[in-house]
Amino acid sequence: MHEIFFGLLGFIFRLISWFVIEIIAQFFFDYLPKKFFGYSFYEKDVELIEKRITILKKEEWFKPYEMYLLEISQRKSIQRLILKANMHEIISIVEKRNEFLTELDRRLFDLNPNGSRNRKTSLD
């Protein structure tokens, strides 16, 4: 009787420990590379960036930047700029829009302090 009980208890213990080890291994293989090697933002941030780019595409003043949309969507510095930006202010206030576009130009074209441009984009 004790052998059956201990055998069943050992089976349950092995099953629980297997699940715990699997969760820990999944954490190491999924989360840590994203954290330390700089993989893409979390999924909700990617969706938010896509929604904001869609909003920007609808604006008339953003038309000159449509040819750089792939570059804009892939660059981390520009993604951070889009995440930090207050879209309502950018759309409604001209000064904020100009600040946003100036910063977008600086990050997209790598403007030097003296004003000369070195294109970082793949389009030439």
pLDDT in tens, 4-16: 888 999 999 999 9
**What's residue 111's pLDDT?**
58
Average pLDDT, integer, range 110-122: 55
> Do residues 61 and 27 touch, judged by C-beta distance below 8 A?
no
pLDDT surpasses 60 at 116: no
HSE, side-chain direction, 13 A CA sphere, residue 1: 0
The two structure tokens encoding residue 90 = 């950018």
Report the C-alpha gap between 109 and 74 in whole angstroms. 14
Three-state DSSP string of the chain: CHHHHHHHHHHHHHHHHHHHHHHHHHHHHHHHHHHHHCCCCCHHHHHHHHHHHHHHHHCHHHHHHHHHHHHHHHCHHHHHHHHHCCHHHHHHCHHHHHHHHHHHHHHHHCECCCCCECCCCCCC
Q: What is the pLDDT of residues 65-97, one digit of tens each?
A: 888 888 888 888 888 888 888 888 888 999 999
**What's residue 8's pLDDT?**
92
Q: Considering the chain, what is the average pLDDT of its residues?
A: 82
Name the pTM for this structure: 0.55
Average pLDDT, integer, range 98-118: 75
Report the C-alpha gap between 4 and 7 in whole angstroms. 5
| Domain boundary assignment for the chain | 1-38, 43-109
**What's residue 76's pLDDT?**
84
